[in-house]
């Protein structure tokens, strides 16, 4: 009995597929604007699957960067090296001390030359105890206070020495 039932279901399935395909047969009689044969489709896919070259184009070779160079002053302090201190806040404190030391040198000499290159990080480390906190806070430097002091001195120098 199971074999007969399966045969009936198979015949019904085939008939359903045939009925579903009838509208397509009617459309096949009408001329289409553009027909693509199976070999053409296979050829198009074959062209797409060809391995391409990874060589850059001339435009890609000529292109360097989209970045716009910022308008930075000629005389600016260098970034403190990571070896100077493990904590970024401490390195920022050393950077502010370098700025203060350079501006103090400007005040002594009155010269508008750039003193940042003349001061070594070892000099900054030697001068650091003068700028350390004494208010019991666990941070080595009061960086905002150092930045404010350096900013004041830099503003004074900017009035006298235009870049």
| Residue 55, CA atoms < 13 Å, CB-side half-sphere | 3
pLDDT for position 138: 83
Over residues 43-57, the mean pLDDT reads: 60
Q: What is the mean pLDDT of the chain?
A: 80
**In-domain check, residue 58:** no
What is the pTM (predicted TM-score) of this model?
A: 0.56
Distances (CA, A) of 161 to 28, 72, 95, 100, 158: 86, 16, 21, 16, 5
Q: 90 in a domain, yes or no?
A: yes
Does residue 129 lie in a domain region? Answer: yes
Q: What percent of the chain has pLDDT over 70?
A: 71
Q: Has residue 49 been placed in a domain?
A: no
Report yes or no on 114 lying in a domain: yes
17/75 Cα distance (integer angstroms): 82
Q: What is the pLDDT of residue 39?
A: 53
Q: Whats the size of the chain, residue-wise?
A: 163
Look at 33 and 90; give whichever has higher pLDDT: 90
Supply the pLDDT for residue 99: 95
Other CB atoms within 10 A of residue 32 CB: 8
Give residue 48's pLDDT. Answer: 54
pLDDT above 70: residue 151? yes
127 within a domain of the structure (yes/no):
yes
pLDDT band at 162 (very low <50, low <70, confident <90, very high): confident
Helix (H, G, I), strand (E, B) or coil at 65: coil
Residue 40 lies in a domain: no
Position 36 in a domain = no
Number of domains composing the chain: 1
Structural domain that includes position 138: 82-160
Which tokens is 118 given? 């003349």
């Amino acid at each position: 009995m199971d074999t007969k039932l399966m045969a009936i279901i198979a015949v019904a399935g085939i008939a359903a597929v045939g009925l579903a395909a009838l509208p397509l047969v009617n459309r096949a009689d009408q001329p289409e604007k553009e027909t693509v044969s199976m070999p053409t489709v296979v050829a198009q896919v074959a062209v797409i699957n060809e391995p391409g070259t990874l060589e850059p184009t001339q435009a890609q070779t000529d292109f360097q960067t989209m970045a716009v160079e910022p308008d930075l002053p000629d005389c600016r302090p260098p970034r403190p090296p990571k070896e100077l201190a493990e904590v970024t806040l401490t390195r920022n404190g050393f950077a502010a001390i370098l700025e203060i030391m350079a501006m103090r040198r400007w005040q002594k000499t009155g010269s508008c030359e750039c003193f940042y290159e003349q001061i070594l990080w070892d000099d900054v480390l030697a001068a650091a105890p003068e700028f350390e906190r004494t208010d019991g806070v666990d941070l080595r430097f009061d960086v905002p206070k150092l930045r404010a002091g350096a900013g004041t001195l830099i503003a004074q120098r900017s009035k006298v020495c235009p870049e």
